Amino acid sequence: MVRTALVTGGTRGIGRAVAIALKSDGHRVAVAYHGNEEAARAFAHDTSIPTYKFDVSDFAACETALKQIEQAVGPVDILVNNAGITRDVQLHKMTPAQWHDVIGTDLTSCFNLCRLVIGGMRERGFGRIVNISSINGQKGQFGQTNYAAAKAGVLGFTKALALESAVKGITVNAIAPGYVATDMVAAVPQEILAKIVAQIPVGRLGHAEEIAGIVQFLVSDKAAFITGSTITANGGQYLV
């Protein structure tokens, strides 16, 4: 069945791969982005998937955008909360802004978008929510108290919302990717990235399409009995 999907942070990296994969499955797809206008224009040109610019950490902005998306594309049946940023610095040097920016984009966004779509999903008796966490939300990471806290929070949020929503035909799951070849990972200094890859048993970074494949499964009817789960995809780097 054709569904309407919204992917946040959807014009680059994992989000881009997810949006393209869901469209290939026949779904109507919209993506949200915030910062990179050039990437958004290129994505829209390449994929013909509509893009919507708004700040996922701002509830009012999300509410306005959701109304536009529902009018243009349809009520959201599939939500992939993928938007995320880093502001890496050790805690004793971290500013309140660096803390709040990451918590807002990486965690509060899950509340904002889920809160706005969950009512309609409950009424229709169907929903698929996939929240993108991180290996560093499971094991922690030096210089990422803000990011690790946000991504760990996503896992608790996922479990609680899954319990609340299961009776209404809504599944809520999380994916915790390891290090995937995206712009965010490319920004890591090469000498540090080489050390990271050396710790991955499969010997390489992940591909965005591999994470997208997990999303495709979790939003399908084949995954209807899976909810409240975290799927780890990290090449064996951290075993949970």
- Catalytic residue list: 147
Distance CA 118, CA 186 (A): 35
* CA Rg value for the chain: 17
Q: Extract the runs of DSSP E, i.e. beta strands, from the chain.
A: 4-8, 28-33, 51-53, 78-81, 127-132, 170-177, 230-233
CB-count exposure of residue 103 (10 Å: 0-12, 13-18, 19+): middle
Question: What is the spatial distance between Cα 104 and Cα 83, in angstroms, rounded to a whole number?
Answer: 10
Q: In this structure, are residues 157 and 110 in contact, taking their beta carbons and an 8 Å threshold?
A: yes
